Chains A and B, each alone.
Chain A
């Protein structure tokens, strides 16, 4: 038996659902593959438009082979997330060119659903969810078109949307109750986490400036009570003490389950929601107290147990007044004094001079800052190119630099003067979203500053950028730079409406992150405990899920049955009336109309006549007349049938 051929409207729906499933992938597929898919889909559309037959099988085989070759060339491999998705996208486009009957069409629809799911391998934000939802509606519409007759696109879309809508309660049940495991559900291929902007564990000139050009959110924080003043908003990240003359890297350190300091002084309590950056370090205000599940390095960094591949919520308490590193190890201090020999001779000379001028080690940082201020250094996102020795060039020739130049130059100067110093990178600043009150820190807030070790005081934070561009610290990057144009559009100060829009969107996005993406095993447990189901294991969850799913399906079915129309209450009443008459031996013929029936009964049982005729007349008028929506008449009929007890 051969399957029936596809009608034109079915082919059109398949094309639409394929396009809607593939289009959102355009953001991450290689350009050549986007071109190939567009060509194939366009070809399919043209054939359908002109009513011409589909290409021959051998041609399609050749096309498929060249497509696989294209993916292999683009990705240098065929396995893994990206080549896999690319391969599927291409093969789906080709599949459409050989889709002749219903069976092929079902394959296309399955593949389309898979492509929509594939979107979430890249991103899980709300926009992606909306795109996948739109694709799902189109795919369901295509599936609907395979069953039943042709319909207008509008009616079909509405029907599909209705079906998807009816699936939402079930989705909610699965979302809430499906047993959650920490991390992703299945092992993602090794290339699953690429393309993330953010700080790195090394710093070369220009690195931080590059990060600053992104308006993406690095993390959010929600403070209990007031957030710290702008000058205190230093979010500590990687600490870099190993300098090779150009690049700064992390130094020798050890990692422990508790910090190497004792927290003291006033505290800020806050919840930090960190965007994934594929690194182990976390960001925190100085200096976080002990929290379960976190690691603390000997250079006072807060670390996660594993690289942060998914958005992470941290409940933190920071004590800014905590003294750290009072009895720092010798090895650390000596590394904090190392300078590669022969590099930056002029800065070394400056350091030696400062050392000679200073009465004590503790005066040197202030002298260096004063020198920086006096030499008229300018703060800019794109400084002039430096010569061989970056720090020398910056301090003595170009005198233009971004925060990393300031920090690097300051640390080199201090090391040359014999004061242990190191570079700290992280974020400085952040602002409050006026819509939901959350504290937002972006990549553009990326910053580098210095830490200086002084005997008796331990490690002290000093921000040399503040010397030349104090507004960077108080007003953020946008306040400190003379020219706004190179800043990410969303960070600029001069477009208030854009900021309002951004605040609103980000507030929504934050909700999504907190409630949808942040719904992890812990929150699931918390929710279940609130429902009185503490310590629910996965079997309980599955039983709950089955029960809730059945309940939802039952409710939906009941709703659908009632939905047939409220007028069916009239039918039910009439059926009851007929049953009662049948019970006394006066059944209605199946075809008999109400008035005929009542008339017949009136003949057979004159005693019932008037009641029966009255009821039948009311019923007929309600059922077939113009007053079928009159609630009063309906109630009257209901009452009189209820009271009708023939004997």
Chain B
């Protein structure tokens, strides 16, 4: 039964990332929905630790890429080098060839370097010197960016944001969790001692199970009503695309799986709505609303029977 694996996973992750149950759950759901995750927060709140913990607990090969302004696409994808012994070019794969990538501070790199990664995310393969190289499967990207830090950065354009299934932020921990964090041992060491929760193949089982979660006609009605509302309402300048609708459904499925349920409820959709729709909705009007306020308005505007 894949659901108890999910429960174990949440427990283990919550032991390491203290007081961030919601964010941990969302991040897990994002991965179970085969989506890429964008973490938007200030430094030092545990973005890297979260990414690291997820990769470790899921038993994925982890690679961190620190993005800088002088970065070139080849620094991410890899490069072909002339091999004197063979007398031919040989492709040296870059850090992107890993099961889970932490793309740290993605907004520091130039759009050129950014788009190299974003294309790899979309295609799940890369092209170099006229040849294509498939990326490992599964392949997840957790990108981080600091919204407050605007000088000398290249914020991701809206169209690129769409490539991330979810955007979440962690925020400061509550006092109790912070206390435990300060008093407790180093998280990295803790993580190193913790064995991976998932055995080989169990992640695949979870990914498949997530896709099989039942979505009934009434739930589709609800999702369609949300989409329609986002397009009609004067609160938003652009509504949600059909792709956003699909993203909402697959994220809600993964959320339902984490809740050990075999069907999706409106609650699941509402739970993932801020993370999935927040970076896809554009507010209209003079005073821009915060993303979570925006998605709350959308949720409140669509009644359930």
Which residue numbers of A lie inside 8 Å of B, CB to CB? 571, 574-575, 589-596, 620-621, 623-626, 628
> Given the complex of chains A and B, what is the CA–CA distance between A591 and B265 in angstroms?
12
Give, as a whole number of angstroms, the nearest-CB distance from A394 to chain B: 84
Cβ contact within 8 Å between B216 and A628 = yes
Cβ contact within 8 Å between B303 and A591 = yes
Residues of chain A contacted by B201 (CB below 8 angstroms): none
The residue of chain B having its C-beta at the shortest distance from the C-beta of A592 within the complex is B304
Given A590-B304, A591-B299, does the pair A626, B262 have CB atoms closer than 8 Å? yes
Cβ contact within 8 Å between B300 and A623 = no
The residue of chain A having its C-beta at the shortest distance from the C-beta of B219 within the complex is A624
A interface footprint on B186-216 (CB within 8 Å = 1, 0 otherwise): 0000000000000000000000000000101
**Cβ-based interface call for B218 (8 A):** yes
Give, as a whole number of angstroms, the nearest-CB distance from A292 to chain B: 66
Cβ contact within 8 Å between A593 and B300 = no
> Given the complex of chains A and B, what is the CA–CA distance between A595 and B266 in angstroms?
9
The CB with the most chain B CB atoms within 10 A, among A571, A574, A589, A593, is that of A593
The residue of chain A having its C-beta at the shortest distance from the C-beta of B296 within the complex is A591
A interface footprint on B260-280 (CB within 8 Å = 1, 0 otherwise): 001111110010000000000
The residue of chain A having its C-beta at the shortest distance from the C-beta of B302 within the complex is A591
The A interface, classified by DSSP as helix, strand, loop or mixed, is: helix
The B interface, classified by DSSP as helix, strand, loop or mixed, is: mixed
**15 A-B residue contacts at CB 8 Å?**
A590-B300, A591-B270, A591-B304, A593-B265, A593-B267, A596-B267, A596-B270, A620-B265, A624-B214, A624-B216, A624-B218, A624-B219, A624-B265, A625-B263, A628-B216
Residues of chain A contacted by B301 (CB below 8 angstroms): 591
A interface footprint on B58-69 (CB within 8 Å = 1, 0 otherwise): 000000000000
Give, as a whole number of angstroms, the nearest-CB distance from A598 to chain B: 10
Residues of chain A contacted by B262 (CB below 8 angstroms): 625-626
Given A591-B270, A593-B267, A593-B270, does the pair A625, B216 have CB atoms closer than 8 Å? yes
Give, as a whole number of angstroms, the nearest-CB distance from B187 to chain A: 31
> Given the complex of chains A and B, what is the CA–CA distance between A591 and B296 in angstroms?
10
Give, as a whole number of angstroms, the nearest-CB distance from A594 to chain B: 7
> Given the complex of chains A and B, what is the CA–CA distance between A594 and B218 in angstroms?
13
Give, as a whole number of angstroms, the nearest-CB distance from B100 to chain A: 32
**Cβ-based interface call for B305 (8 A):** yes
Cβ contact within 8 Å between B267 and A623 = no
Give, as a whole number of angstroms, the nearest-CB distance from A453 to chain B: 88
> Given the complex of chains A and B, what is the CA–CA distance between A628 and B265 in angstroms?
13
Residues of chain B contacted by A628 (CB below 8 angstroms): 216
> Given the complex of chains A and B, what is the CA–CA distance between A626 and B263 in angstroms?
7
> Given the complex of chains A and B, what is the CA–CA distance between A596 and B218 in angstroms?
17
Contact partner of A593 among B214, B263, B266, CB < 8 A?
Answer: B266
Cβ contact within 8 Å between A595 and B267 = yes
Contact partner of A591 among B218, B264, B300, CB < 8 A?
Answer: B300
6 nearest A-B pairs in the assembled complex, by CB-CB distance: A590-B303, A593-B267, A593-B266, A625-B263, A624-B216, A626-B214
Cβ contact within 8 Å between A571 and B305 = yes
Which residue numbers of B lie inside 8 Å of A, CB to CB? 214, 216, 218-219, 262-267, 270, 299-305
The CB with the most chain B CB atoms within 10 A, among A571, A595, A625, A626, is that of A625
Give, as a whole number of angstroms, the nearest-CB distance from A356 to chain B: 103
The CB with the most chain B CB atoms within 10 A, among A574, A591, A596, is that of A591
Residues of chain A contacted by B263 (CB below 8 angstroms): 621, 624-626
> Given the complex of chains A and B, what is the CA–CA distance between A595 and B270 in angstroms?
12
Residues of chain B contacted by A624 (CB below 8 angstroms): 214, 216, 218-219, 263-266
The residue of chain B having its C-beta at the shortest distance from the C-beta of A571 within the complex is B305
Give, as a whole number of angstroms, the nearest-CB distance from A235 to chain B: 67
> Given the complex of chains A and B, what is the CA–CA distance between A34 and B189 in angstroms?
94
Residues of chain B contacted by A592 (CB below 8 angstroms): 304
Residues of chain A contacted by B303 (CB below 8 angstroms): 590-591
The residue of chain B having its C-beta at the shortest distance from the C-beta of A588 within the complex is B304
Residues of chain A contacted by B302 (CB below 8 angstroms): 591
Give, as a whole number of angstroms, the nearest-CB distance from B6 to chain A: 17
Residues of chain A contacted by B299 (CB below 8 angstroms): 591
> Given the complex of chains A and B, what is the CA–CA distance between A621 and B305 in angstroms?
14
> Given the complex of chains A and B, what is the CA–CA distance between A590 and B222 in angstroms?
13
Residues of chain B contacted by A623 (CB below 8 angstroms): 216, 218
Cβ contact within 8 Å between A593 and B304 = yes
Residues of chain B contacted by A625 (CB below 8 angstroms): 214, 216, 262-263
Give, as a whole number of angstroms, the nearest-CB distance from B50 to chain A: 26
Give, as a whole number of angstroms, the nearest-CB distance from B22 to chain A: 14
> Given the complex of chains A and B, what is the CA–CA distance between A574 and B301 in angstroms?
20
> Given the complex of chains A and B, what is the CA–CA distance between A628 and B262 in angstroms?
13
> Given the complex of chains A and B, what is the CA–CA distance between A625 and B218 in angstroms?
10
The residue of chain A having its C-beta at the shortest distance from the C-beta of B216 within the complex is A624
> Given the complex of chains A and B, what is the CA–CA distance between A626 and B214 in angstroms?
7
> Given the complex of chains A and B, what is the CA–CA distance between A594 and B264 in angstroms?
12
> Given the complex of chains A and B, what is the CA–CA distance between A431 and B300 in angstroms?
79
The CB with the most chain A CB atoms within 10 A, among B263, B264, B270, B299, is that of B263
The CB with the most chain A CB atoms within 10 A, among B216, B219, B301, B305, is that of B305
Give, as a whole number of angstroms, the nearest-CB distance from B297 to chain A: 10
The residue of chain B having its C-beta at the shortest distance from the C-beta of A567 within the complex is B218
Give, as a whole number of angstroms, the nearest-CB distance from B21 to chain A: 15
Cβ contact within 8 Å between A626 and B216 = yes
The residue of chain A having its C-beta at the shortest distance from the C-beta of B266 within the complex is A593
Residues of chain A contacted by B218 (CB below 8 angstroms): 623-624
Cβ contact within 8 Å between B300 and A574 = no
Give, as a whole number of angstroms, the nearest-CB distance from B83 to chain A: 57
Give, as a whole number of angstroms, the nearest-CB distance from B223 to chain A: 11
> Given the complex of chains A and B, what is the CA–CA distance between A623 and B263 in angstroms?
10
> Given the complex of chains A and B, what is the CA–CA distance between A626 and B256 in angstroms?
14
Residues of chain A contacted by B267 (CB below 8 angstroms): 593-596
Give, as a whole number of angstroms, the nearest-CB distance from A351 to chain B: 94
The residue of chain B having its C-beta at the shortest distance from the C-beta of A595 within the complex is B267
> Given the complex of chains A and B, what is the CA–CA distance between A628 and B220 in angstroms?
15
Residues of chain A contacted by B304 (CB below 8 angstroms): 590-593
Residues of chain A contacted by B305 (CB below 8 angstroms): 571, 574-575
Give, as a whole number of angstroms, the nearest-CB distance from A618 to chain B: 13
The residue of chain B having its C-beta at the shortest distance from the C-beta of A572 within the complex is B305
> Given the complex of chains A and B, what is the CA–CA distance between A596 and B267 in angstroms?
7
Give, as a whole number of angstroms, the nearest-CB distance from A564 to chain B: 12
> Given the complex of chains A and B, what is the CA–CA distance between A445 and B101 in angstroms?
98
> Given the complex of chains A and B, what is the CA–CA distance between A625 and B303 in angstroms?
19
Residues of chain B contacted by A571 (CB below 8 angstroms): 305
Give, as a whole number of angstroms, the nearest-CB distance from B304 to chain A: 6
> Given the complex of chains A and B, what is the CA–CA distance between A574 and B305 in angstroms?
8
